[in-house]
Amino acid sequence: MTAIAGEGARWRDDTRHKAWLAAQAEGLFRFFAPHSIDPTGGFAALDDFGLPMPRERERQLHSTTRMIHCFSIAHLMGRPGAMDLIDHGMKALRDHHRDAKNGGYFWSFDADGPRVRDKRAYGHGFVLLAASSAKAAGHPGADALLEDIVDVLDRRFWEAKHGASAEEFREDWTAIDDYRGQNANMHLTEALMAAYEATGEREFLNKATSIAELILHRNAAAADWRVPEHYHSDWTVDAAYSGNVMFRPYGYTPGHALEWSRLVMQLHALSKGAVDWAPGAAANLFRQAVRQGWDGKNGGLYYTLEYDGAARVRDRLWWPMCEGMAAAYVIGRHDDDPFFEEWYRRIVTFADAHFIDHANGGWRPALDDDLAPMQGIFVGKGDIYHALQACLIPLYPATKGIVAAVKAAKE
């Protein structure tokens, strides 16, 4: 099945295209629900056919929490059995990730207990997202989780003098280094907005605005609307930094600029226009990302760029395509420039042809420079989070986060 709609209509308004999106979302739920639950705790990574990968025993915090988030959406959509997956994820947070002695949440666990004991802002931001989504879905343990993670984020991670989060600590909360990163703060912004929508507490929105102003209004604007990834402890850019290729790659990451372009439009909507610089920033971030990040010959978004804009890691990963798809829709809802409709169609069509695995389900994690499927940074099928949101966000008004939008439609 291909993503075809009438050429005369915007795809965002075309009922046939919406049906295609809904079918893709349903396919993702079917692919991930049956075999993701690991009876020993947490969720298993899945292979190309949707079966648990026996070599993958480590359960990482962001994977656990993203499943809670996604199946909270499924529950709000009326999908039978979704609450069972939320329960399983909440139990994994409580029994395996949470550090009962020192507080906070371990990065990962395996059959022998905690594996990587570091406390990382990236993972803790997703705990906040999971708690907020579970609260919206009506899970009885959500309020306690929300109270706990807000306390941890406030006491351990939030740096009021910078208006952003610190990065990581050891098990006992001693500092690891002076690194600060935009990736963790970007996802914390996402989670803070979800918490605001779930609770109505203004402080969450204030902190989300503070992070966006630091990373986008100050640093991305100064970098010609490319998003610097890495920083020193005073939030000056560290252009020499090269860390983990999955979470902290060297150079610029076009997918993060696209992700930010969507999130800052959500911030604009939630602030009722008070973040008045957001629409211009979103458009600039999107245009720069596709201008430098898209391969004009074979198509697809490069994973990373050099600081001069040249392609560095030329592999195409699934998640930047997902973020570009959602961003083009959200910005296009606020900006009538046909540029965003054209890019929405281009990205969706490319994803349909190369990333969506119509035979086995799920999205392929990566393509090489010749667009052949490959296993590299990621193995098996990429998790449900990015792809599900890409398929669902265009089905709802672009004025809320996806959980709040789904809940509002239900009501």
Known catalytic residue at 230:
no
Judge contact between 402 and 393, C-beta under 8 A.
yes
Burial classification of residue 410, based on how many CB atoms lie within 10 Å of its CB (0-12 exposed, 13-18 middle, 19 or more buried): exposed
Residue 216 DSSP SS3: helix
DSSP 264-324: HHHHHHHTTT-STTHHHHHHHHHHHHHHHHB-TTT-SB-SEE-TTS-EEE-PEEHHHHHHH
Phi-psi domain of 309 (left: phi exceeds 0; alpha: psi -120 through 50; beta: other)? left
Q: Give CA 386 to chain center in angstroms.
A: 6
Cα–Cα distance measured from residue 16 to residue 201, given in angstroms and rounded to the nearest whole number: 38
Q: Torsions phi, psi of 243, nearest 5?
A: -120, -145
Judge contact between 11 and 5, C-beta under 8 A.
yes
Judge contact between 132 and 193, C-beta under 8 A.
no
Known catalytic residue at 386:
yes
Residue at 181: amino acid letter: G
User: Which of 256, 268, 334, 354 is an active site residue?
Assistant: 256
The secondary structure of residue 104, as a DSSP letter, is S
Cα–Cα distance measured from residue 16 to residue 247, given in angstroms and rounded to the nearest whole number: 36
Q: Catalytic site residues?
A: 256, 386
